[in-house]
């Protein structure tokens, strides 16, 4: 198990290094000089050159890469071209919106999907199963931003229960701030919940057909105990895999959803940074998200061993 | 040698069609997909109104007999725009699947045939692409190379490559140890020839099912990109962009946000049902993950 983990850790680190090279070089070929963009079209060539020097844009590309990558390791992301504040500060400001949003969505999707999946698997072929899987089939097909528009129309425009967009900030109090995140979280969660419910159901159905389930039932164990303790635990591996993938999806999904709701989160930051050619912000936020995805996948791998003790010995 | 093979194939194809049309998912999916494709084809010859003509006098009309789905803020007929927009959605998703299959399948087959270092390298490349949240990179690519349908295709296509590579590799790895492959090798066939003649036909059903899944995901991704303004550019109508424009008008004309959304949901639903149906018919054991 330890050597397996070490290998995974090494692969994760290697992926991160290659990803940083890819991100850095892709953004290098981006048209437009950041220095000129900052100063505007009327700036003289000399002023642009001075700024290029200050920003270190005249250094050899390899040096600039090493400088940037070294900064990433110490969480020193450099300074934003457009906002003129450290990127780390910008990210810190935005993470407090995006992370709670993604976690809320993940939580919602899990608490909806797992019971639905279990329920459907238990009553396979029943009307309830057909109905919930039909709903899941439709849920998978709904684009989250369209669902967001519908939610805005019903709950913000029509019923006026929650704001249609914007974020008051956590300083405004826990409730007003979380209220602004409810609709976005629901919009992000629904399509994910639909996928998760289907995976839970099919994973559970596979396990329920196993011999040891019949044995457990035959020796008189209550149905619910067999379901929750024996079957669900064994069905968790595919569910966890999908959950890990979904977290990455949720983080990226914030790009669209934060635009729908005008939330000042990471997704909106990166979208604006790309259009403003604020390279250093784009590079840093992309790397941050990639690192998060890699770490989450590692955690998922780790959790396999917790859920399934057999894997601890085998590997 | 060739005659019995073709006869065998014809027979299985016939039984496939018979089984397929007895499958509820397949029939529903097939009907919806045909309807959408038909609508896209029809839009080349005929739409109720011209989508490039702005008739300000007719703007923001709610659905009626003259404009079935109403008109937008420029007086364009929403139904006609949805019809023309379907071309864009289908074309982007279809070509993106083509890119994914065209590059991913050879990559996956190569990894399975060679094993060892090649296999490891292909799998690590997959890990690398998977580490980038697809939508994030698509936004980056389209923003860097400029918005537009072509760049949207490339952005979505790139993320289809590792998906097909993975499916092809897994499928091929399961076929390689089989006896008929051993026979082919004993007959002196090379790995490339075996892959083309024996591996590919045997993993074709897996690829077909994955193809419909990626097609559906491509439609959703294209809608997302064009909602952000990074897909097809006006005056070419696209479903995502229609939704973006509808958002600001939601107070006065909620129906504008309704119909393009339905178009997306129905198309994706149809493709998913079709994929479910095909996989049920081809291999009842093969349960789809999504």
What region, left, alpha or beta, does residue A221 occupy, with left being phi > 0 and alpha being psi -120 to 50 degrees?
Answer: beta
CA A248 – CA A286 distance, rounded (Å): 12
pLDDT for A250 beyond 80: yes
Residues B136, A252: C-beta atoms closer than 8 Å: yes
How close does chain B come to A220, measured CA to CA in Å? 30
Q: Are residues A47 and A110 in the same domain?
A: no
ipTM: 0.84
User: Sorting pLDDT into bands at 50, 70 and 90, what band is A1?
Assistant: low
The domains of chain B, with CATH numbers, are 24-43+69-283 (1.10.3720.10)
Q: Are residues A153 and A21 in the same domain?
A: no
Q: Are residues A57 and A97 in the same domain?
A: no
Average pLDDT value for residue range A37-48: 73
Which of A30, A45, A73 is where one domain is finished? A73
Domain membership of residue A83 (yes or no) is: no
Residues A290, B216: C-beta atoms closer than 8 Å: no
Q: Are residues A179 and A266 in the same domain?
A: yes
Give me the pLDDT at residue B279, please. Answer: 82
Domain membership of residue A266 (yes or no) is: yes
Out of A32-36, A307-311, B261-265, the most confident range is: B261-265
Q: Are residues A60 and A207 in the same domain?
A: no
Q: Are residues A134 and A162 in the same domain?
A: yes
Give me the pLDDT at residue B270, please. Answer: 95
Domain membership of residue A6 (yes or no) is: no
CA B34 – CA B271 distance, rounded (Å): 10
Does B156 lie at the interface with A, CB-CB under 8 angstroms? no
Is residue B169 within 8 A of residue B163, CB to CB? The reply is no
Total tally of structural domains belonging to chain A? 2
A174 exposure class (CB count in 10 Å sphere: 0-12, 13-18, 19+): exposed
Domain membership of residue A272 (yes or no) is: yes
Domain membership of residue A276 (yes or no) is: yes
Which of A41, A73, A105 is where one domain is finished? A73
Q: Are residues A24 and A69 in the same domain?
A: yes
Q: Are residues A289 and A140 in the same domain?
A: yes
Which of A73, A97, A115 is where one domain is finished? A73
pLDDT for A257 beyond 80: yes
Q: Are residues A54 and A150 in the same domain?
A: no
Host domain of residue A149: 88-311
pLDDT in tens, B48-85: 878 777 777 777 778 877 777 878 777 788 888 999 99
Domain membership of residue A5 (yes or no) is: no
Nearest CB among A152, A286, A297 relative to B136 is that of: A286
Domain membership of residue A79 (yes or no) is: no
Q: Are residues A241 and A157 in the same domain?
A: yes
Domain membership of residue A283 (yes or no) is: yes
Does B285 lie at the interface with A, CB-CB under 8 angstroms? no
**Token pair recorded at residue B217:** 């995901």
Q: Are residues A216 and A257 in the same domain?
A: yes
Is residue A183 within 8 A of residue A155, CB to CB? The reply is yes
Phi and psi (nearest 5°) for B250? -60, -35
Chain A residue closest in CA terms to B129 = A19
pLDDT in tens, A63-111: 888 888 888 888 777 778 777 788 888 888 899 999 999 999 999 999 9
Average pLDDT value for residue range A190-213: 89
Q: Are residues A42 and A98 in the same domain?
A: no
Phi and psi (nearest 5°) for A86? -55, 140
Residues A199, B289: C-beta atoms closer than 8 Å: yes
Residues A15, B131: C-beta atoms closer than 8 Å: yes
């Amino acid at each position: 198990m330890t050597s397996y983990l070490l290998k995974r850790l090494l692969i994760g680190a290697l992926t991160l290094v290659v990803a940083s090279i890819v991100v850095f070089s892709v953004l290098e070929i981006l048209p437009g000089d950041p220095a000129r963009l900052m100063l505007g079209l009327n700036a003289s060539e000399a002023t642009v050159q001075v700024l290029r020097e200050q920003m270190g844009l005249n250094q050899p590309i390899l040096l600039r890469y090493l400088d940037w990558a070294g900064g990433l390791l110490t969480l020193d992301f450099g300074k934003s071209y457009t906002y003129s504040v450290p990127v780390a500060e910008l990210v810190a400001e935005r993470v407090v919106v995006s992370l709670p949003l993604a976690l809320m969505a993940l939580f919602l999707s899990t608490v909806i999907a797992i019971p639905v999946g279990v329920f459907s698997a238990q009553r396979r072929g029943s009307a309830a199963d057909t109905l919930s899987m039909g709903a899941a089939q439709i849920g998978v097909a709904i684009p989250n931003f369209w669902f967001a528009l519908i939610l805005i129309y019903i709950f913000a425009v029509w019923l006026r229960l929650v704001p249609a967009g914007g974020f008051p900030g956590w300083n405004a109090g826990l409730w007003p701030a979380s209220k602004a995140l409810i609709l976005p979280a629901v919009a992000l969660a629904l399509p994910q919940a639909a996928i998760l419910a289907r995976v839970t159901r099919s994973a559970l159905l596979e396990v329920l057909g196993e011999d040891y389930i019949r044995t457990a039932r035959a020796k008189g164990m209550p149905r619910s105990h067999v379901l929750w303790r024996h079957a669900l635990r064994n069905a968790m591996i595919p569910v966890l895999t999908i959950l890990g993938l979904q977290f990455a999806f949720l983080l990226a999904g914030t790009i669209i959803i934060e635009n729908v709701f005008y939330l000042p989160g990471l997704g909106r930051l990166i979208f604006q940074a790309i259009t403003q050619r604020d390279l250093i912000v784009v590079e840093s936020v992309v790397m941050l998200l990639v690192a998060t995805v890699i770490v989450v996948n590692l955690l998922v791998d780790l959790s396999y061993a917790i859920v399934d003790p057999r894997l601890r010995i085998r590997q | 040698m060739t005659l019995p093979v073709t006869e065998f194939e014809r027979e299985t194809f016939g039984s496939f069609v018979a089984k397929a049309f007895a499958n509820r998912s397949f029939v529903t999916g097939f009907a919806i997909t045909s309807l959408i494709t038909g609508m896209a084809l029809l839009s080349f010859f005929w739409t109720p109104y011209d989508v490039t003509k702005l008739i300000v006098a007719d703007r923001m009309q709610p659905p009626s007999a003259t404009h079935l789905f109403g008109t937008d803020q420029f007086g364009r007929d929403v139904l006609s725009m949805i019809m023309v927009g379907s071309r864009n959605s289908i074309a982007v998703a279809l070509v993106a699947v083509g890119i994914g299959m065209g590059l991913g399948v050879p990559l996956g087959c190569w990894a399975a045939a060679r094993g060892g270092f090649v296999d490891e390298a292909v799998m690590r490349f997959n890990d690398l692409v998977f580490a980038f949240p697809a939508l994030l990179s698509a936004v980056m690519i389209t923003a860097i190379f400029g918005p537009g349908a072509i760049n949207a295709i490339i952005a979505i296509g790139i993320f289809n490559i590792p998906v097909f590579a993975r499916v092809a590799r897994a499928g091929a790895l399961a076929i390689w140890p089989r006896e008929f492959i051993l026979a082919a090798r004993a007959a002196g066939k090379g790995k490339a020839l075996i892959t083309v003649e024996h591996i590919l036909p045997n993993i074709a059903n897996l690829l077909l099912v994955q193809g419909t899944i990626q097609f559906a995901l491509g439609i959703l991704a294209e809608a997302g990109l064009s909602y952000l303004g990074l897909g097809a550019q006006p005056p070419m109508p696209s479903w995502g962009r229609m939704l973006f424009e509808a958002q600001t008008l939601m107070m006065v004309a909620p129906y504008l946000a309704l119909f393009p959304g339905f178009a997306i949901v129905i198309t994706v639903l149809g493709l998913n049902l079709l994929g479910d149906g095909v996989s049920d018919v081809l291999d009842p054991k093969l349960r789809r993950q999504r």
